[in-house]
């Protein structure tokens, strides 16, 4: 039996610190069968144009486990900046 795909849902969160007003941050919820997210991937970046294109491409898409691993790697590599 193949695992069911997981849906990814982007949730932007307000950034209160004015030093980071040119950043976007939040979480990407990973949903399975239940009503709540099973886990989440954090993002925080000032690569806004690139991030918004990425979000528009992937938001509310169903991903296989293999696709989800690549997706998570890309988010962490490109859109999770250390401050």
Q: What mean pLDDT do residues 16-26 have?
A: 96
Domain containing 46 equals 6-17+24-78
Assess if residue 1 is contained within a domain: no
Whole-prediction pTM value?
Answer: 0.92
Spatial separation of the C-alpha atoms in residues 35 and 20, rounded to whole Å = 32
Residue 39 within a domain: yes
Flag whether 83 is in a domain.
Answer: no
Cα 49 from Cα 52, distance rounded (Å) = 5
Place 2 in a pLDDT band, splitting at 50, 70 and 90.
confident
- Give the DSSP per-residue string, the chain: -PPPPEEEEEEEE----GGGTT-EEEEEEEE-SSSSEEEEEEEEES-HHHHHHHHHHHTT-EE-HHHHHHHHHHHHHHSB---
In a domain, 58, yes or no: yes
pLDDT band with cut points at 50, 70 and 90 for residue 42: very high
Domain count across the chain? 1
């Amino acid at each position: 039996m193949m695992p069911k795909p997981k849906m990814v849902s982007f949730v932007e969160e307000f950034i209160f610190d004015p030093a980071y007003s040119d950043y976007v941050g939040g979480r990407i919820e990973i949903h399975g069968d239940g009503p709540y997210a099973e886990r989440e991937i954090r993002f925080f970046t000032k690569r806004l144009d690139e991030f918004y294109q990425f979000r528009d491409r992937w938001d509310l898409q169903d991903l296989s486990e293999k696709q989800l691993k690549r997706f998570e790697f890309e988010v962490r590599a490109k859109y999770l900046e250390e401050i």
